[in-house]
């Protein structure tokens, strides 16, 4: 229960070379026989062997076949009388555990009468005593024994080398993993599963068997996951020369899973949310997410599994890199430049609405954290998404080809090793001597060590045909880091002339606190386009005029900054209203600009949808020193209503123009059309609320009933719910009736109601009553997230109530969940991260609610760490 520090890293005192595990699977009491070959690490002074364990029943310990003395230090099993010298010895440990009682979903657990494992980060110690740390890599042989009728499918990592029947209706399967791996990549699955399989031959001519395992009845929802896997294998080989190194690659879906998915070697275990999709049950977003998560887990096979982390502080080594790789994969699959830009905007939106607040709050930490109490709390948007931006900047600084060379260098140098973020950056730099990265490597690595979002302030001057842009960087203090040194910041820039044409452009690689870009010989003052493509994860402080932003929205050749101009125009109007009287009337210039984007003959529908979507409430709130979330919500709603009413004719045109897509395909072009039609329908229903019109809500209801796919159906349902139309009730009831057997669709049904716009405090009572719904189940993470998180974390206008009832609900749920699944509880605890920014009386009420949670004596480390930091 102590804080762990990166600076305290010590190499392991022992190595474990081989592990032979034998499981007798039983939900109530599973027996685990673990035979290891262990040897001392000659580089470390002799000391006892201390094995990690958690909630295990220890039955026997043998060293070289003989009973031995041992003692317990907390959860650790300590062996002192071990053979002298460096020669390997046999260590045999026999334990039992209770998978059916494992509601934490870490280690070995049951879900729907099947067995699954989750070992990252520290779940393997809940299966057997072990050196459960990523720098101890071993060769695994696994034998699974279980009732044949109940558990006909028995899977583990690697290759199936033997199987057969045993007495009493039991059977066995023996698996050998040809690759050494750390314990967090171990996996087993046993249950009644069916699989879709596909044989493929890779570019290099090797044959592989790909399998996707699901429950019977779900097989018709696995085609997209399989296609995504096939595409992932091909992409990694084509783009980075990284082939599949296994004969067999399996994906298994389970509906009880803490995370999205897990990259266990050769046996990825997935949340059903990221596997199952059919046009009737999954939206376009679900299809895209499946593609990217399947890609992400597959890409880990190299970036994570072949080269892993020395310790958990290095988590971003594999996660930042693999998010970067999955983002690139999705962009490459999207194809055209405009579709790539849409994906980039979506990724940046996640970063700015989730990671920037994290970087400014009590849980702020560097991409490579310095300390943790519970590592599960550090699977964060900082480690993942900001980590990916840090990798992306390295690519920017060495160029795309240089980055490919750098990655090849990294894998060549470190294949089979457990390494650090420093090793990664060093390899990329070494492969690119003379590059901006190589020339500034130590300074660049501050991105790994300094927390907080840097701010780049831009000021401009035009005199005698010379345009100057002065850029100054700073970074606010974060917990434990009062002062920051300058970062290396690549700022992609361009100048747009008065006639809308590009007049200059380049990349300023900032290394100093202040730098100036100068362009001579200009006939008139241009408009600067800065941080193109979001070339660095910073806040750009630029006091642009409306005219400059409107010019960029119309002319910028950089689609990201075109979108960004619209965001700035929207944010400015919202902030003016929030800081002012709370009321605002949208100006013609803004409305006209939005109209011309909506009606633009050449722009993609997906891009239009992004431009016409107002900045999120959380993003707007981050721009304020003190936040009244209800006021932010009210202002955004007011703007949306005006946008809806003023452009009603244009929205009607957009809906009619984009609503028909022919046969459903989840490709980017038709998904973009559906997205824009959905946004239009929402605005038309919102406009109908003020005008009293019944035609559009009626059309939305009809669309909801007749839709041929989930995207259109859900968008129509959402339009009714968001606009608060009375037809939303029968539509919600009908939706539930149609999909009562589809867990993932019911998650959407819960989430939509919990995330609905608040009208006079009506959402919390709905959430409370949905907690009593027969389909609600707190123990299922997806369901808990769909109802509770959708309310507490994703609906600020409804959650932050002046009467504090939202906070009381939050505290009760955190404590309730902590008794079931601390990892999920700690995520929910993070809903209060930004409490210090709240206006009174919410701030005091929030502090009281957090203090009430913190006062509970037997809190998990997970929740304790979050609430303690929040109050610090
Ligand atoms: N390694 C945990 C799940 C993921 O990031 O792929
Ligand atoms: Zn990952």
3-state secondary structure string across 395-457: HHHHCHHHHHHHHHHHHHHHCCCEECHHHHHHHHHHCCCCCHHHHCHHHHCHHHHCCCCCEEE
**Averaged pLDDT for residues 147-157:** 98
Residues above pLDDT 70, as percent of the chain: 100
Q: Confirm whether 848 is a catalytic residue.
A: no
Whole-number Å distance, alpha carbon 76 to ligand 2 midpoint, is 28
What is the chain's alpha carbon radius of gyration, rounded to the nearest angstrom? Answer: 28
- Count other Cβ atoms within 10 Å, centred on residue 230: 16
What single DSSP character describes residue 123?
T
Each residue's pLDDT tens digit, 208-244: 999 999 999 999 999 999 999 999 999 999 999 999 9
Q: What residue's CA is closest to ligand 1, atom 4?
A: 262
Query: In whole angstroms, what is the distance from residue 552 CA to residue 545 CA?
Result: 11
Starting from the CA of residue 323, give the closest ligand: 2
Report the pLDDT averaged over residues 99-123. Answer: 98
318 Cα: distance to centroid of ligand 2 (angstroms): 7
Answer yes or no: is pLDDT of 204 > 90. Answer: no
Q: State the distance from the centre of ligand 1 to the C-alpha of 274, rounded, in angstroms.
A: 13
Taking the CA of 119 as reference, the closest ligand is 1
- Residue 1: per-residue pLDDT: 72
Q: Which of 263, 275, 292, 377 to mutate to test the pocket of ligand 1 (most atoms within 8 A of CB)?
A: 263
Matching residue, tokens 């100048």 = 495
Ligand nearest the Cα of residue 322 is 2
Closest C-alpha to ligand 1, atom 3 = 262
Ligand 1 atom closest to Cα of residue 297: 6
Could you give the CA distance from residue 644 to residue 681 in angstroms, rounded to a whole number?
A: 10
Instruction: Identify the DSSP state of 12.
Output: -
| Ligand nearest to the Cα of 258, by number | 1
Which ligand neighbours the alpha carbon of 379 most closely? 1
DSSP element (H, E) containing 200:
strand 193-201
Q: Are 826 and 865 in contact (CB under 8 A)?
A: yes
Q: What pLDDT digit, counting tens, does each position of 43-62 carry?
A: 999 999 999 999 999 999 99
| Distance set, CA 292 to CA 196, 257, 289 (Å) | 19, 18, 5
User: Quick one: which atom of ligand 1 is closest to the CA of 384?
Assistant: 5
Tell me the mean pLDDT in the region 805-827: 98
Taking the centre of ligand 1 as the mean of its atom positions, its distance from the CA of residue 126, in whole angstroms, is 19
Give the strand pairing for 248-254 and 267-271. parallel
Per the listing, tokens 């690697």 go with 158
Ordered domains of the chain (ranges, CATH)? 308-449 (1.10.390.10), 455-543 (2.60.40.1840), 739-872 (1.25.50.10)
Q: Which DSSP string do the residues of 789-846 spell out, in sequence order?
A: IHHHTT-HHHHS-TT-HHHHHHHHHHHHHHTT-HHHHHHHHGGGTTGGGBPTTHHHHH
Q: Which residues, 6 or more positions from 792, have their beta carbon under 8 angstroms from its beta carbon? A: 799, 806, 809, 810, 813, 828, 831
Q: How far is the CA of 297 from the centre of ligand 1 (A)?
A: 7
In this structure, the residue with its CA closest to atom 1 of ligand 1 is 262
pLDDT band at 461 (very low <50, low <70, confident <90, very high): very high
Q: Are 354 and 385 in contact (CB under 8 A)?
A: yes
* pLDDT over threshold 90, residue 584: no
Contact yes or no for 710/280 (Cβ under 8 A): yes
In tens, the pLDDT along 7-16 reads 999 999 999 9
Residue 295 Cα to ligand 2 middle (Å): 10
Ligand 2 centroid, distance to 122 Cα (angstroms): 15
Burial of 744 (0-12, 13-18, 19+ CB in 10 A): buried
426-458 pLDDT, tens digit each: 999 999 999 999 999 999 999 999 999 999 999
Average pLDDT over residues 772-777: 98
The alpha carbon of 813 and the centre of ligand 2 are apart by a number of angstroms equal to: 28
Q: Which atom of ligand 1 is nearest to the CA of 296?
A: 6
Residue with CA nearest ligand 1 atom 5: 319
Query: Following DSSP, what letter does each residue of 585-598 receive, concatenated?
Result: ---HHHHHHHHHHH
Q: Predicted confidence band at 6 (pLDDT cuts at 50, 70, 90)?
A: very high
Of all atoms in ligand 1, which is nearest to the CA of residue 319? 5
Selecting among 297, 319, 617, 742, the annotated active-site residue is 297
Compute, in angstroms, the gap from residue 374 CA to the centroid of ligand 1. Answer: 16
Probe ligand 1: pick from 254, 319, 329, max atoms within 8 Å of CB? 319
pLDDT digits (tens, 9 = 90+) for 791-800: 999 999 999 9
Q: What is the pLDDT of residue 184?
A: 99
In which residue are the tokens 């596909």 written?
198
State in Å: Cα 314 to ligand 1 middle.
13
Residue 24 pairs in a beta bridge with 31, 145
Q: How much distance in Å is there from the Cα of 322 to the middle of ligand 2?
A: 6
Looking at beta carbons, which pairs linking 620-626 to residues 24 or more positions away fall under 8 Å? Answer: 620/571, 620/574, 620/575, 620/578, 621/796, 621/834, 621/837, 622/352, 622/356, 622/357, 622/360, 623/571, 623/575, 624/575, 624/578, 624/579, 624/837, 625/837, 626/837, 626/838, 626/839
Does pLDDT of 156 surpass 80? yes
Distances 282 to 197, 334, 702, 742 between C-alpha atoms, Å: 21, 19, 20, 10
CA–CA gap between residue 204 and residue 241 (Å, rounded)? 10
Cα 130 to middle of ligand 2, angstroms: 23
Q: Atom of ligand 1 at shortest distance to CA of 293?
A: 6
pLDDT at residue 336 is higher than 80: yes
Residue 260 has pLDDT above 80, yes or no: yes
- What span, in angstroms and rounded, lies between the C-alpha atoms of 111 and 601? 51
Q: Among the atoms of ligand 1, which is closest to the Cα of residue 263?
A: 6
Pocket test for ligand 1, best of 268, 293, 296 (most atoms within 8 A of CB): 296
Q: Tell which atom from ligand 1 comes closest to the C-alpha of 300.
A: 6
**pLDDT, position 255:** 98
Q: Residue range 354-367: average pLDDT?
A: 98
Ligand 1 pocket: which of 379, 383, 384, 388 to mutate (most atoms <8 Å of CB)?
A: 379
Dist CA 331 CA 325 (whole Å): 10
- Tell me the three state secondary structure of residue 686: helix
pLDDT band at 271 (very low <50, low <70, confident <90, very high): very high
Average pLDDT over residues 716-722: 98
**What confidence score (pLDDT) does residue 152 get?**
98
Probe residue for ligand 1, chosen from 105, 118, 119, 120 as the CB with the greatest number of ligand atoms within 8 Å: 120
Q: What is the 3-state secondary structure (H, E, C) of 710-779?
A: HHHHHHHHHHHHHHCCCCHHHHHHHHHHHCCCCHHHHHHHHHHHHCCCCCCCCHHHHHHHHHCCCCCCCC
Given a contact cutoff of 8 angstroms between Cβ atoms, the answer to whether 822 and 106 are in contact is no
Q: Mean of the pLDDT values across residues 714-728?
A: 98
Strand partners, 621: none
- Which residue is closest in CA terms to ligand 1's atom 2? 262
More confident residue, 728 or 335: 728
Of the listed ligands, the closest to the CA of 257 is 1
pLDDT reported for residue 114: 98
As a whole number of angstroms, the distance between CA 329 and CA 239 comes to 9
Q: Which residues line ligand 1 (CB under 6 A)?
A: 120, 259, 261-263, 296-297, 300, 319
Q: Which ligand is nearest to the CA of 375?
A: 1
Give the residue among 424, 444, 450 at the shortest CA–CA distance from 510. 444
Q: Which residues of 349-370 are buried (b: 16+ CB within 10 A; e: fewer)?
A: bebbbbbbbbbbbbbbbbbbbb
> Ligand 1 centroid vs 140 CA: distance in angstroms?
21
**Does the complex come out with an ipTM higher than 0.95?**
yes
- 3-state DSSP assignment of residue 608: helix
Residue 661 has pLDDT above 80, yes or no: no
**Closest ligand 1 atom, CA of 304?**
1
Task: Measure the CA–CA gap between 32 and 22, rounded to whole angstroms.
Answer: 6
> For 282-311, how does the pLDDT look when each residue is reduced to its tens digit (9 = 90+)?
999 999 999 999 999 999 999 999 999 999
The overall longest dimension of the chain from CA atoms, in Å, is 93
DSSP code of 265? T
**What integer best gives the mean pLDDT of the chain?**
98
Residue 100 C-alpha to ligand 1 middle, in angstroms?
Answer: 24
């Amino acid at each position: 229960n102590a804080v762990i520090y990166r600076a305290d890293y010590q190499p392991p005192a022992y190595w474990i070379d081989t592990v032979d595990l034998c499981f007798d699977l039983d939900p109530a009491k599973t027996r685990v026989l673990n035979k290891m070959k262990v040897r001392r690490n000659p580089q470390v002074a002799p000391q006892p062997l201390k094995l990690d364990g958690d909630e295990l029943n220890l039955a026997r310990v043998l060293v070289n076949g003989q009973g031995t003395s041992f003692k317990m230090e907390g959860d650790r099993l300590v062996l002192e009388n071990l053979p002298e010298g460096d020669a390997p010895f046999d260590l045999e440990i026999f334990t039992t555990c209770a998978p059916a009682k494992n509601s934490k979903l870490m280690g070995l657990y049951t879900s729907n009468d099947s067995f699954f494992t989750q070992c990252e980060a520290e779940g393997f110690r809940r299966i057997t005593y072990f050196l459960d740390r990523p720098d101890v890599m071993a060769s695994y042989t696994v034998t699974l024994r279980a009732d044949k009728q109940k558990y006909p499918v028995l899977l583990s990592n690697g290759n199936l080398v033997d199987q057969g029947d045993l007495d009493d209706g039991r059977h066995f399967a023996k698996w050998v993993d040809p690759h050494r791996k750390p314990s967090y990549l171990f996996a087993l699955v046993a249950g009644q599963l069916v699989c879709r399989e596909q044989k493929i031959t890779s570019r290099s001519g090797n044959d592989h068997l790909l399998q996707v395992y699901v429950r019977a009845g779900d097989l018709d929802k696995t085609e997209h996951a399989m296609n995504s896997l096939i595409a992932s294998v091909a992409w990694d080989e084509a783009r980075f020369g990284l082939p599949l190194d296994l004969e067999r690659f399996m994906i298994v879906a389970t509906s009880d899973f803490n995370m999205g998915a897990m990259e266990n070697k050769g046996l990825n275990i997935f949340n059903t949310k990221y596997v199952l999709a059919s046009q009737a049950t999954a939206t376009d977003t679900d299809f895209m997410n499946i593609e990217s998560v399947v890609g992400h887990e597959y890409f880990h096979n190299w970036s994570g599994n072949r080269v892993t982390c020395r310790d958990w502080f290095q988590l971003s080594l594999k996660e930042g890199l693999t998010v970067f790789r999955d983002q690139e994969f999705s962009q490459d699959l999207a194809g055209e430049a405009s579709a790539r830009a849409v994906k980039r905007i979506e990724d940046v939106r996640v970063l700015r609405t989730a990671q920037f607040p994290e970087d400014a709050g009590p849980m702020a930490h560097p991409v490579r954290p310095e300390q943790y109490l519970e590592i599960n709390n550090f699977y964060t948007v900082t480690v993942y998404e900001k980590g990916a931006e840090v990798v992306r900047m390295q690519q920017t600084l060495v160029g795309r080809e240089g980055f490919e060379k750098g990655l090849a260098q990294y894998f060549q140098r470190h294949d089979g090793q457990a390494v650090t973020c420093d090793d990664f950056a060093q390899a990329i730099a070494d492969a690119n001597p003379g590059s901006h990265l190589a020339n500034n490597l130590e300074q660049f690595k501050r991105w790994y060590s300094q927390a907080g979002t840097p701010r780049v302030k831009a000021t401009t001057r035009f005199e005698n045909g010379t345009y100057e842009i002065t850029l100054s960087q700073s970074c606010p203090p974060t917990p434990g880091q009062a002062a920051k040194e300058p970062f290396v910041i690549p700022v992609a820039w361009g100048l747009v002339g008065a006639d809308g044409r590009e007049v200059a452009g380049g990349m300023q690689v900032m290394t100093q606190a202040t730098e100036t870009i100068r362009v001579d010989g200009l006939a008139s003052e241009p408009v600067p386009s800065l941080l193109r493509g979001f070339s660095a994860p910073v806040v750009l402080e630029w006091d642009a005029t409306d005219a400059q932003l409107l010019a960029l929205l119309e002319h910028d050749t950089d689609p990201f900054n075109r979108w960004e101009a619209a965001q700035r125009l929207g944010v400015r109007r919202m902030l003016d209203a929030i800081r002012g009287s709370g009321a605002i009337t949208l100006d013609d210039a803004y409305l006209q600009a939005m109209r011309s984007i909506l009606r633009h003959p050449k722009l993609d529908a997906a891009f239009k949808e992004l431009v016409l979507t107002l900045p999120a409430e959380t993003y707007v709130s981050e721009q304020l020193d003190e936040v009244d979330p209800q006021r932010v919500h009210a202002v955004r709603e007011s703007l949306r209503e005006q946008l809806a009413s003023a452009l009603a004719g244009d929205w009607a045109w957009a809906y009619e123009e984009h609503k028909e897509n022919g046969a459903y395909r989840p490709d980017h072009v038709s998904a973009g059309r559906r997205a824009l039609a959905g946004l239009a329908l929402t605005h038309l229903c919102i406009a109908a609320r003020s005008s009293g019109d019944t035609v559009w809500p009626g059309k939305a209801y009809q669309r909801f009933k007749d839709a041929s796919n989930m995207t259109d159906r859900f968008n129509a349902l959402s339009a009714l719910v968001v606009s608060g139309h009375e037809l939303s009730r029968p539509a919600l009831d009908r939706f539930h009736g149609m999909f009562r057997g589809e867990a993932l669709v019911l998650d959407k049904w819960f989430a939509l109601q919990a995330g609905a716009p608040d009208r006079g405090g009506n959402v919390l009572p709905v959430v409370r009553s949905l907690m009593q719904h027969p389909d609600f189940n707190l123990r299922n993470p997806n369901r808990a997230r769909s109802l509770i998180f959708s309310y507490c974390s994703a609906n600020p206008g409804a959650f932050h109530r002046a009467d504090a009832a939202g906070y009381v609900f939050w505290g009760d749920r955190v404590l309730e969940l902590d008794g079931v699944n601390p990892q999920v509880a700690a995520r929910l605890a993070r809903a209060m991260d930004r409490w210090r920014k709240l206006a009174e009386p919410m701030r005091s009420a929030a502090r009281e609610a957090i203090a009430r949670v913190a006062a509970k004596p037997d809190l998990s480390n997970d929740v304790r760490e979050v609430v303690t930091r929040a109050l610090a």
